[in-house]
A and B are shown apart, each in its own frame.
Chain A
Amino acid sequence: MADSYDGDSEPTTRTLLRRVLDTADTRTPRRRRSARVGYERALSESASNHTDYGSGLSRIQLAHVHTSGNVEEQTPRTLLKNILLTAPESSIMRPESVVKPVPTPQVVQSSRRDSSRGSLELQLPELEPSTTLALGLLAPGRRKQRLRLSVFQQGVDQGLPLSQEPRGNASASSLTSSLNLTFATPLQPQSVQRPGLARRPPTHRAVDVGAFLQDLRDTSLALDTQPFSQPLVGRSPSGYHSLPCLSHTEVEDAERAISHRTQSSGPRLQNHNPGKPAQLLAGKAKKVDAHAVSFPNNSSTISGEDGVEPLQDGVDEEAEERMEETSPELASSTTEFLQARQPQFLEPALPPRTAVLSSEPLEPLPTRLPPRARTPGPRPRQDPHKTGLSHYVKLFSFSAKMPMEKKALEMVEKCLDKYFQHLCDDLEVFAAHAGRKTVKPEDLELLMRRQGLVNDQVSLHVLVERYLPLEYRQLLIPCAFSGNSVFPAQ
């Protein structure tokens, strides 16, 4: 590489160079530079010198030239350029400090234009090639922002006051764009242009919930007279839903109950309300007390149903208190009623029952009592033995898959008795052989092995898996669980 100083014959270049070097912040050892770089530098210097800028701009431009030509050189210009790149905002306010990391030919062009135009106009030509560059470099999605840049440029051209910051942004963005960096700054003008889009009105739900709760309370106040708990009690064994669902249905049902007054709404309430939280129940129980006098019939049913449901909920005390407060006579009848109704709850045919029950609470009582009075007679001693055996007899008939005579079934029972005897004898022998008085599973395994059920091919675990249900399998076959534990423990 020929030394630029030796190669350059123009005295102007040299003088310019010297001027630049003198004005440079830090002195750097002169290095050999390519002729091309020297020429470009000279041109830029000549162009820049015509302008009225300080030496800073020319320095900066030179720095760019240098960086484009020689990357490894650490000249003051390159340093300055790097600083400006990293902190473009500071340079925004001053048009002179605008840095352009554009490749050399464009820099040359811009520098040429700069010489002809004023300070403001300097920005435009610089920006235009940068935007064209950016279009090529960035993704097509950036079109909108680039358009705004052009708008800003036009505004700048017209000398609008807002051009300062946005222009600075545009310039910075142009810088970044040419370097394939993301467009961070243009987002600000977006928000500035359309403040309405920045935020949306939140929380529609809060209002609804508040109004909803108020409706709840209003309906709960009105619900005390209705046999509201009646269908709840009927549905309590089926399960409990979450509170919002309950409140929804409660509101609806409350409205309907108010309009239709009892039975018609009963089944609907039942269908919708499987259960209730204790709070609402307690509140309603209190309401029941308040209105017990005016509505004795309803209150009896209500207190009855309230009594059943709190019992199932586990709030017995309140219910009992309420029941006591209302009326002792009704309480006795309701307790019987409750007892009578409890088996009914489990039955699926609830809607017709509730209608019947609510209208005629006393009628089911006499029908329920007689079956309770009848108790079964003394059981025969063999009965449990027979019932236990019958289990295996049924299994036998199922396995046979053929119709059987009753005598055959009796024969099977005898066989089973014999079998159990043999079994116990064998187990006793095995346990005694092992010196134990407790029969353990090992004895059972030995028995099965002797019977020929367990071979070397077929193990006990295989049989367990084949014939027993999962719950028993889990108990019999040791399985490893997390935490280095085995169940059942051996």
Chain B
Amino acid sequence: MAFSTTVSQRKHIKRKAPRGFLKRVFKRQKPHLRLETRGDLLVHLNCLLFVHRLAEETRMNAFENKCGVIKKEHVQAAAKVILKKSRG
């Protein structure tokens, strides 16, 4: 746990939004649409919240199965729920 936390913390230092990546993704998906500058950041915010919810759900699934390690099944089950939620 300690090792993972330290590693994660080292990774997590950069809180930058991959704005170029997000713009590229949107362009690839919807080339006929345009994305505003500030919308980029809000998309990043949305992704953050999605990832948070997903991680939370995955952890809960792993706890329910009494596993100390997150497995694929946990992630899958959690993704189903969260994607349904974030459909809008």
Contact = CB atoms under 8 A, between A and B. Distances in A.
Interface of A: 384-385, 387-388, 391-392, 394-405, 407-408, 410-412, 414-416, 418-424, 426-428, 431, 437-441, 443-445, 447-448, 450-453, 460, 463-464, 467-469, 472, 475-476, 488
B12 interface: yes
13 contacts: A387-B21, A394-B8, A397-B4, A399-B52, A399-B55, A401-B5, A404-B70, A408-B72, A410-B72, A437-B32, A447-B88, A451-B85, A463-B49
A464 B48 CA distance: 11
A400 B58 contact: yes
A419 B78 CA distance: 13
Interface of B: 1, 4-5, 8-9, 11-12, 15, 17-18, 21-22, 24-26, 29-30, 32-36, 38-39, 41-52, 54-56, 58-59, 62, 68-72, 74-76, 79, 82-83, 85-88
A405 to B, nearest CB: 6
Given A401-B4, A419-B83, A419-B86, A441 B59 contact: no
A424 B29 contact: yes
Contacts, number: 179
Contacts of B22: 388
A388 B25 CA distance: 9
A412 B32 contact: no
Given A400-B55, A411-B79, A388 B18 contact: yes
B70 A427 contact: no
Contacts of A387: 21
B88 A405 contact: no
A438 B33 CA distance: 6
A472 B43 CA distance: 12
B43 A423 contact: yes
B72 A411 contact: yes
Contacts of B38: 441, 475-476, 488
A447 B85 CA distance: 12
Contacts of A416: 47, 51
Given A396-B55, A399-B51, 17 more contacts: A395-B48, A397-B55, A399-B52, A399-B55, A408-B71, A415-B54, A419-B83, A424-B25, A427-B30, A431-B33, A440-B36, A441-B36, A445-B42, A450-B88, A451-B86, A451-B88, A476-B41
A397 B59 CA distance: 10
A444 B42 contact: yes
A420 B25 contact: yes
Contacts of B44: 468, 472
Contact of B59 (A400, A414, A453, A464): A400
Best-surrounded residue of A420, A428, A450 (most CB of chain B within 10 A): A420
Nearest to A469: B15
Best-surrounded residue of A402, A424, A426 (most CB of chain B within 10 A): A402
Nearest to A452: B85
Contact of B51 (A396, A407, A421, A463): A396
Best-surrounded residue of B24, B43, B68, B87 (most CB of chain A within 10 A): B43
Contacts of B58: 396, 400, 408
Contact of B75 (A395, A401, A411, A472): A411
Nearest to A387: B21
B25 to A, nearest CB: 6
Given A419-B86, A438-B35, A440-B36, A448 B47 contact: no
Contacts of A469: 15
Contacts of B39: 439-441, 443-444
Which 5 residue pairs of A and B lie closest in terms of their CB atoms, listed nearest first? A388-B21, A399-B55, A450-B88, A444-B42, A398-B8
Contacts of B76: 411
Contact of A412 (B54, B59, B86): B54
Contacts of A410: 72
Contacts of A401: 1, 4-5, 8, 59
A356 B15 CA distance: 39
A392 B45 CA distance: 11
B87 A453 contact: no
Given A411-B76, A423-B43, A439 B71 contact: no
B4 to A, nearest CB: 6
Contact of B86 (A402, A422, A476): A422
A439 B79 contact: no
Nearest to A419: B50
Nearest to A445: B42
Contacts of B85: 451-452
Contact of B8 (A397, A414, A424, A440): A397
